[in-house]
Amino acid sequence: MTWRNWAGTVSADPARRYLPRTVAAIADAVREAALAGLTVRALGSGHSFTPAAATSGAALDLSSWTGVVAADVNSGLVTVRSGTSLRALNAALDMLGLAMANLGDIDAQTIAGAISTGTHGTGARLGGLAAQVAALELVLADGSVVSCSARERPDLFTAARVSLGALGVISTVTLACVPAFTLAAEEGPLPLAEVTARFDEFAANSDHFEFYWFPYGRNALVKRNNRIAAGPDAKPIPPAMPDWRRFWEYEVMENAAFGALCRTGRAVPRLIKPLNRLAAATLSKRAYSAPSHQVFVTPRRVRFVESEYAVPRESVLDVLAELRAELPRLADPVMFPVEVRVAAADDIWLSTAYGRDSAYIAIHQYAGLPYQEYFRLFESITASVGGRPHWGKMHTLHAERLAVLYPRFADFLRVRDETDPDRRFANPYLDQVLGP
């Protein structure tokens, strides 16, 4: 059966497909594939735009390996099976009175796929999902099952938190969760000139800050989400968003109506620029409060392709300014907005935020519209500031260039040689970004 990713950019026909329901079954599948001379890739939700999970060898479908294994509410440590989706994880944590400290805006990914590709949210003082991992259990190329943490096999742990599945099949993830919290969300349009002028202020004064810029419009959609504090000096708490308003804003306006604009632009490309300006001009203002995961996550039903680069935080406005200057010269106009987020530095070897406070710029194009020239332009601009591509989003970089961008790249390859000398977990994408 052919496997396809969410965006429709990648397909593969695995020679064998396994549906393990235990760690032992995962290990047996790895050993059986080795005997047959097949490589092995674990399938998540297919939400990567790259062929990170694609294989012509053995595919491990982990959709039946889900759920919470153990939870300690006092310490916040929660162990979850690797095939669990973020959506299911958020629901389970909510029932325990816990939450992830930070999340991205999509919850379709599996927890293992999300950390392995460096999925992140936004927040100048917060790291990505992998920074919230306290321990991992992996099935290695020889079928052995090992655990790792900051104290137990620390090199393997540091490498495996963002590993692209190159070191083994993650079987369980132990997360350092926090008590459940409510976010006050403030969202609305501001002139892009004001957003860039106040960028550092917004990033410093918001727990979570991001904005979306529509390439041919004057306005950006700014999102500032803050944890609700108690005490006499606390700000008034905005009310929850009524169900009808949530449906109108997110299902009707951001999905159905925007999807209709995109389809119109694809059918009549000369309308893309005015439609893009219309989308920017009709952005609405809203303020509400909700459990954290309900604020972080936004339903995304309009299909697109995406490239995203992490750049040094101090370079982000220069990169954006150059992109703004060059974008009007493209032969094919751009329908989708540009997304900008921030993150704190971390110490994970292949994390895009390794060793530096970072800003993320993500560019998109509606599915079916030309994007290659746009993505090449973006990649050339980010290259000048040492941009690092998101491992699960479209880029053209190879191992030689990535080795320069990541100070601990050689250490990662050393751990890979130790855990998978025969490249049982390789595929063409890993050959590209890590070398054979």
Q: What is the pLDDT along the chain (436 residues), one digit of tens a residue?
A: 899 999 999 999 999 999 999 999 999 999 999 999 999 999 989 999 999 999 999 999 999 999 999 999 999 999 999 999 999 999 999 999 999 999 999 999 999 999 999 999 999 999 999 999 999 999 999 999 999 999 999 999 999 999 999 999 999 999 999 999 999 999 999 999 999 999 999 999 999 999 999 999 889 999 999 999 765 666 678 888 888 888 888 888 888 888 998 999 999 999 999 988 888 888 889 999 999 999 999 888 999 999 999 999 999 999 999 999 999 999 999 999 999 999 999 999 999 999 999 999 999 999 999 999 999 999 999 999 999 999 999 999 999 999 999 999 999 999 999 999 999 999 999 999 999 9
Nearest to residue 52, comparing CAs of 431, 322, 399? Answer: 431
Task: Specify the CATH number for 64-179; select among 3.30.465.10, 3.40.50.720, 3.30.930.10, 3.20.20.140.
Answer: 3.30.465.10
| Count of CB atoms situated within 10 Å of the CB of 302 | 20
166, amino acid identity: A
Helical segments of 174-315, H only = 192-197, 199-205, 243-246, 258-267, 272-281, 292-296
One fold for 64-179 and 182-389: no
220-237 b/e (C-beta count within 10 Å ≥ 16 → b): bbbbbbbeeeeeeeeeee
pLDDT at res. 278? 87
DSSP 95: H
pLDDT at res. 283? 85
SS3 string, 178-206, reads: EECCEEEEEEEEEEHHHHHHCHHHHHHHC
Nearest to residue 215, comparing CAs of 320, 331, 347? Answer: 320
Which residues are within 8 A (CB) of 155 and not within 5 positions of it... i.e. 6 or more apart?
A: 411, 415
DSSP 21: -
The DSSP result for 331-387, as a single string, is SS---SPEEEEEE--B--TT-TTBTS-EEEEEEEEETTS--HHHHHHHHHHHHTTT-
* Domain-wise residue ranges, the chain: 64-179, 182-389
Structure tokens belonging to residue 6? 């969410």
Nearest to residue 116, comparing CAs of 417, 433, 436, 435? Answer: 433
DSSP 3-state assignment of 303? coil
pLDDT at res. 300? 87
Q: Are 307 and 202 in contact, with CB atoms under 8 Å apart? A: no
Nearest to residue 99, comparing CAs of 28, 176, 30? Answer: 176
State which fold the 182-389 domain adopts.
Answer: Vanillyl-alcohol Oxidase; Chain A, domain 3 (3.40.462)
CA torsion angle for 67, 69, 71, 75 (degrees, to 10)?
Answer: -120
Q: Are 5 and 59 in contact, with CB atoms under 8 Å apart? A: no
Backbone angles phi and psi of 363, in degrees to 5: -110, 150
Which residues are within 8 A (CB) of 235 and not within 5 positions of it... i.e. 6 or more apart?
A: 184, 229
Residue 100 CA to residue 428 CA, distance in Å, equals 33
Structure tokens belonging to residue 7? 């965006």
